[in-house]
């Protein structure tokens, strides 16, 4: 079996690839993967992740920008691909106010390039990353996949458009599509631009850590190990619908101060500054995960304390934590 992963130097792509390489330790399994080591956050972290994956013989990597459709097609030419996992994107809600064009180029045009280049290969299934931010501000919690969508920023809009595009493709092809609405994924080798990774970086550098909205935010933190397991289970089930949208969340909103308090206590200390609300942020995310559970069967999500234990342990022990 061959799978194709985009954004493999990223947090989710890397962890998923590593997990798959460990599970399928056979000659018949191959991962073809790409990333362009975009410099939105540390390229050093991204390169370390990919080098770790390169120690597996059945991992084949190429530095390709998804904006370059020709290169994508050339790389995939005459390859048999069974499953596609499209994670490459310009992530980040707040950065979308600074550089909105990049979200159009990478998340919309790049998304179309990946879809066009891979659908030709007739894979059984294409997974692609959507986001919980697509819901915007809501009062109907937990957010179910049928809830109204109110994207508040270009990032969220780009993900909504991805879902609409996949919807159209699914109508005219034999490939199945799964859109993954990820809710604040955290864990080992996590993103340095997100709450936990950012705080770790500030502690390492003894700099002030700013907490938005004075900490009155809650997020449905979802452990990366669970994400990898869910993706593996989803790739094995028989789907009825050509296009399925799923919340990938633990259904447990946690106040962000609880997270920073734990990290400050167990990893190290730094100064905290409480600042006002950023208008691009949503106040709360809390997803309903009944739909994904119904598909994959009984699944126990990692509780926040255990997930944080594993995450903090990784940052304490890893020689790479210093790059945060």
Ligand X SMILES: NC(=O)c1ccc[n+]([C@@H]2O[C@H](COP(=O)([O-])OP(=O)(O)OC[C@H]3O[C@@H](n4cnc5c(N)ncnc54)[C@H](O)[C@@H]3O)[C@@H](O)[C@H]2O)c1
Least distance in Å: CB of 284 to ligand X?
15
Looking up tokens 């979802």, which residue turns up?
222
CA dist 177 and 188 (Å) reads 28
Q: Would you say 89 or 199 has its CB closer to ligand X?
A: 89
| Minimal distance, residue 122 CB to ligand X, in Å | 23
10 binds ligand X (CB under 6 A): yes
Q: What is the four-CA torsion angle of 171, 176, 181, 187, rounded to 10 degrees? A: -160
The tokens describing 10, both together, are 């990223």
Give yes or no for residue 307 binding ligand X (CB under 6 A): no
Q: CA-CA distances (angstroms) from residue 310 to 99, 281, 304, 306?
A: 34, 27, 10, 6
Residue of 90, 118, 218, 270 interacting with ligand X (CB under 6 A): 90
Q: Distance between CA 189 and CA 167 in Å, rounded?
A: 32
Residue 188 interacts with ligand X (CB under 6 A)? Answer: no
Q: Are 6 and 71 in contact (CB under 8 A)?
A: no
Active site residue 155: yes
Instruction: Please pick, from the candidates 182, 209, 315, 324, the single residue that binds ligand X as defined by CB under 6 A.
Output: 182
> Strands 83-86 and 2-6, how do they pair?
parallel
212 and 248 Cβ atoms separated by less than 8 Å: no
Q: How far apart, in Å, do the first and last CA atoms of the chain sit?
A: 35
* Residue 88 interacts with ligand X (CB under 6 A): yes or no: yes
Considering beta carbons, is residue 182 or 267 the nearer one to ligand X? Answer: 182
Which of residues 268 and 312 has its CB atom nearest to ligand X in the complex?
A: 312
Helix (H, G, I), strand (E, B) or coil at 162: helix
Interface of this chain with ligand X, residues 17 to 76, rule: CB under 6 A: 35-38, 46, 65-67
> Pick from 18, 1, 22: which is nearest to 10 by CA?
18
Q: Which of 155, 195, 267, 324 is catalytic?
A: 155
Contacts of 91 (CB under 8 A, 6+ apart): 10, 40, 155, 191, 193
Q: Applying CB under 6 A, which of residues 3, 9, 249, 292 lies at the interface with ligand X?
A: 9
CA distance 37 to 17: 16
Q: Which of 175, 184, 270, 285 binds ligand X (CB under 6 A)?
A: 184
Instruction: Name the residue with the smallest CB distance to ligand X.
Output: 10
Q: Which is nearer to ligand X, 118 or 184 (CB)?
A: 184
- Decide whether 79 or 206 has the Cβ nearer to ligand X: 79
- Pick the stretch among 24-32, 87-95, 268-276, 292-300 that binds ligand X (CB under 6 A): 87-95
What residues have CB less than 8 Å from 163, skipping those under 6 apart? 130, 134, 179, 245
Q: Looking up tokens 């995310």, which residue turns up?
A: 285
Nearer to ligand X, 224 or 295 (CB): 224
Nearest to 302 by CA among 254, 246, 244: 254
Residue 198 binds ligand X (CB under 6 A):
no
Among 76, 143, 166, 185, binds ligand X (CB under 6 A): 185
What are the residue numbers of the active site? 155
**Binding footprint of ligand X on the chain (CB under 6 A):** 7, 9-13, 35-38, 46, 65-67, 87-91, 106, 110, 129, 131-132, 182, 184-185, 191
């Amino acid at each position: 079996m061959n799978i194709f992963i985009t954004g493999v130097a990223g947090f989710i792509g890397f962890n998923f690839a590593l997990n798959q390489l460990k599970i399928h330790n056979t000659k018949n399994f191959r991962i073809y993967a790409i990333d362009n080591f975009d410099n939105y956050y540390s390229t050093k972290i991204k390169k370390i992740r990919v080098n770790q994956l390169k120690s597996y013989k059945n991992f084949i990597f190429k530095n390709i920008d998804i904006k370059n459709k020709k290169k994508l097609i050339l790389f995939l030419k005459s390859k048999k691909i069974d499953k596609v996992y499209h994670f490459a994107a310009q992530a980040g809600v707040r950065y979308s106010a600074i550089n909105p064009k990049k979200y159009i180029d990478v998340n919309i045009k790049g998304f179309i390039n990946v879809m066009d280049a891979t659908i030709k290969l007739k894979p059984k299934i294409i997974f692609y990353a959507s986001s919980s931010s697509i819901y915007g501000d809501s009062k109907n919690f937990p957010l179910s996949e049928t809830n109204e969508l109110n994207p508040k920023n270009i990032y969220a809009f780009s993900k909504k458009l991805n879902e609409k595009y996949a919807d159209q493709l699914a109508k005219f092809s034999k490939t199945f599509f799964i859109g993954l609405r990820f809710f604040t994924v955290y864990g080992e080798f996590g993103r340095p631009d997100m709450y936990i990774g950012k705080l770790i970086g500030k502690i390492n550098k003894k700099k002030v850590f700013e907490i938005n909205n004075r900490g009155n935010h809650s997020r449905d933190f979802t452990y990366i190990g669970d994400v990898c397991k869910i993706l593996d289970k989803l790739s094995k089930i028989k789907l009825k619908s050509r296009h399925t949208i799923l919340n990938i969340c633990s259904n447990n909103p946690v106040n962000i101060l609880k997270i920073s308090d734990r990290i400050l206590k167990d990893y190290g200390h730094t100064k905290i500054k409480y600042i006002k609300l950023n208008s691009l942020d949503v106040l709360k995310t809390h997803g309903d995960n009944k739909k994904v559970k119904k598909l994959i069967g009984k699944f126990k999500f990692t509780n926040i304390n255990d997930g944080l234990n594993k995450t903090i342990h990784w940052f304490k022990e890893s020689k790479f934590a210093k790059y945060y």
